[in-house]
Amino acid sequence: MDESYKTIIGDKTSEFQHMAGSDGVQEPRIWSSPEGGRKIEIGKQIFCNRSLNMRNILAVGFDMDYTLAQYIPETFESLAYEGTIKKLVYDLGYPQELLGWSFDWKYMVRGLVLDKKRGNILKMDRHKYVKVAYHGFQEMSKEEKVGTYGNTLIRDSFDEPDYALIDTLFSLAEAYLFAQLVDFKDSNPGKIPERADYARMYKDVRAAVDSCHRDGTLKQTVTKDPRSLWDYTNVVMDFLCGSHVLDSSRACNFDWLMYFDIVITGSAKPGFFHEDNRANLFEVEPESGMLRNTDNGTPMPQVGNSSPRIVLKKSNAPCQIFQGGSVGHLHKLLSIESSSQVLYVGDHIYGDILRSKKVLGWRTMLVVPELEREVKLLWSLRNSRKLLRLMRNERDQIEDQIHHMKWFLKFEDLNVDQKQKTSDGIDELESRRDQVRTSHQQDQRECHQKFHKIWGQLMKTGYQNSRFAHQVERFACLYTSQVSNLSLYSPYKYYRPCEDFMPHEFDILPL
Ligand SMILES: Nc1nc2c(ncn2[C@@H]2O[C@H](COP(=O)(O)O)[C@@H](O)[C@H]2O)c(=O)[nH]1
Ligand SMILES: [Mg+2]
């Protein structure tokens, strides 16, 4: 395999290697080493929204893509972008000049919402107020934004089918391409295929991206000619857990299976999480990738074939590999009695976290790779943020003073001199308030731009939590920047959330 393919998946799993050396000798795990229990650097900490005692967890499940395997977006998402453009041009009649376009992988971020009909890209707060809005790449004025989204009645929609949520890193390329097409259509209306309004363009992009995922455009670049989803999983996991070589022609030794009891590929989440999902469960024969039928999770022995259960060379621990099925099968295979005994770790707030929490009541951990940079920046900007808070308080105090003086002027029986003095005082205060307000806005904007030049801090919009942060808070029991951070904590860790604060408590309890 071409060496350049190696850069598609990041090696964020170095801690895994402390579990078993390449010679198979067990090395001390971080949590049982003397280093365990020390202060963990902020970018690698696990943050807790809901108490979770790991002693009560019987099974920990891991999603693979963008959870265990951190694809590098500048290469992996560029593949999706280029593949999508080719499909738009060659299959859907979009103009050839799209082939010369390029992808700025840093432009879009998770948590954004696409307004398909209007061609807008939005960032909103937890109350679904639109705080940042662009038409294509053109920033919308405050008036346009309020005119379009200010109506409180439409605020609780912002969901499919008219809106698309950018909630996985897989969606960055399609969001960027949508913005490019909106700009292109606005300045070249005749060049876009007939009847393609913004919503149609979105649909075309979505269909083309979907097809890139289905027809192997992406997976074939990660590993040449994967014969099945199992084959692909095997190559990626083999790379992550030891070999660091993405080579499907190399004979895999399946060593990575020693870390797992069960592997399921092609689970078709989020449908997998519905117990009434009657999807068939097949057992996978690891060497050949052949599927065997099972009877509700119990493999059905086949005449003339050996059992597909792998007995691992090193640990003698069996690991079973399946394709399809649903959560009922999984619970049965693992002898799970209560769904609160399962912790599931994933990167997709909707497909992994929200569905498994809402439908099943599994405990959840969200992997947010962006978090590492975000918390480090927060830390370095802590003094500026304190100053911002002080400026905001000063602005509020001046504003209150102005209001009082205005009422005084209006309702009290004042002589000419008193009236003049009060008016002058109001003028002075108004000019001071304007100064403070302007510098506060400027400094606040600059602070946000340090996180992202367009969209600001991932978890905030202004002073409010972003919609994305709100979802994380509601549905992820735990969240962290990468899976391997788990190895920095004891497997018996009792994760406890920090104290909740209501606005009335802030001035009473020092933070
Ligand atoms: N058919 C589509 N498949 C997609 C799309 N976006 C991602 N994917 C595939 O899903 C899995 C990753 O999901 P995960 O929850 O298991 O991490 C991987 O196989 C992707 O190729 C899509 O738009 N359409
Ligand atoms: Mg994933």
pLDDT in tens, the chain (511 residues): 333 333 455 444 433 333 333 344 444 456 677 766 678 999 999 999 999 999 999 999 999 999 999 998 888 899 999 999 999 999 999 999 999 999 999 999 999 999 999 999 999 999 999 999 999 999 999 999 999 998 766 666 788 999 999 999 999 999 999 999 999 999 998 888 877 899 999 999 999 999 999 998 888 888 877 788 899 999 999 989 876 766 656 666 788 999 999 999 999 998 999 877 678 899 998 888 888 876 655 555 444 334 444 444 445 558 999 999 999 999 999 999 999 999 999 999 999 999 898 889 999 999 999 999 999 999 999 999 999 999 999 999 999 999 999 999 998 888 999 999 999 999 999 999 999 999 999 999 999 999 999 999 999 998 899 999 999 999 999 999 999 999 999 999 999 999 988 888 888 876 5
Going by C-alpha positions, the residue among 222, 202, 205, 261 that lies closest to residue 72 is 222
Residue 214 identity (one-letter amino acid): R
Q: How many CB atoms lie within 10 A of CB 281?
A: 24
User: What ligand is nearest to the CA atom of residue 171?
Assistant: 1
Q: Which residue has the tokens 């950018």?
A: 166
Atom of ligand 1 nearest to the CA of 174: 23
Q: Which residues of 305-339 are buried (b: 16+ CB within 10 A; e: fewer)?
A: eeebebeeeeeeeebbbbbbbbbbbbbebbebeeb
Pocket of ligand 1 contains residue 412 by CB under 6 Å: no
Residue 381: both structure tokens together: 């900007």
Residue located nearest, by CA, to atom 23 of ligand 1: 210
Pocket of ligand 1 contains residue 214 by CB under 6 Å: yes
User: What ligand is nearest to the CA atom of residue 346?
Assistant: 2
Pocket of ligand 1 contains residue 421 by CB under 6 Å: no
Residue 210: both structure tokens together: 């979907």
Residue 137: both structure tokens together: 């790449």
Distance 214 CA to ligand 1 centre (A): 8
Pocket of ligand 1 contains residue 76 by CB under 6 Å: no
Cα separation, 124 vs 111, in Å, equals: 8
Which pTM value belongs to this model?
A: 0.89
Residues near 352 by Cβ (< 8 Å), separated by ≥ 6? 63, 67, 269, 270, 344, 345, 346, 364, 366
